[in-house]
Amino acid sequence: QSALTQPASVSGSPGQSITISCTGTGSDVGSYNLVSWYQQSPGETPKLIIYEVTRRPSGVSDRFSGSKSDNTASLTISGLQADDEAHYYCCSYARSPTYVLFGGGTKLTVL
């Protein structure tokens, strides 16, 4: 099964909002509310920022929010800051035998 589909890059100016999409199928994103998002800064380990589509782990800024419609999940970052510049990956549980899919990743540039 193919990876989840994300735009290769997005950009925005400080203070603006951006949205990153993550498109799957009815066998993964569309069937389960088990979509998570990870932020990976250069040279760093991925960090969980959203889980179960909309939930934020303790300590993650409320500027990060998640949503889902049909087979597409989305990550929105509001009030962009310079240190939001990173790669963002979505991930979803999928029906057997695929089980776990990641998106190809989106590079966020803060202009």
Give the residues lining the site for other proteins (CB under 8 A).
1, 3, 32, 34, 36, 38, 45-46, 48, 51-52, 57, 89, 91, 93, 97-105
Nearest distance, CB of residue 82 and other proteins, angstroms: 23
- 8 A C-beta contact, residue 82 and residue 51: no
Nearest distance, CB of residue 19 and other proteins, angstroms: 19
Q: Which of 7, 85, 12 is nearest to 43 (CA)?
A: 85
C-beta closer to other proteins: residue 15 or 57: 57
> What single DSSP character describes residue 3?
P
Nearest distance, CB of residue 99 and other proteins, angstroms: 5
Nearest distance, CB of residue 41 and other proteins, angstroms: 13
- 8 A C-beta contact, residue 80 and residue 88: no
C-beta closer to other proteins: residue 55 or 111: 55
Tell me how far apart the alpha carbons of residues 34 and 16 are, in angstroms, rounded to a whole number: 28
- 8 A C-beta contact, residue 53 and residue 33: yes
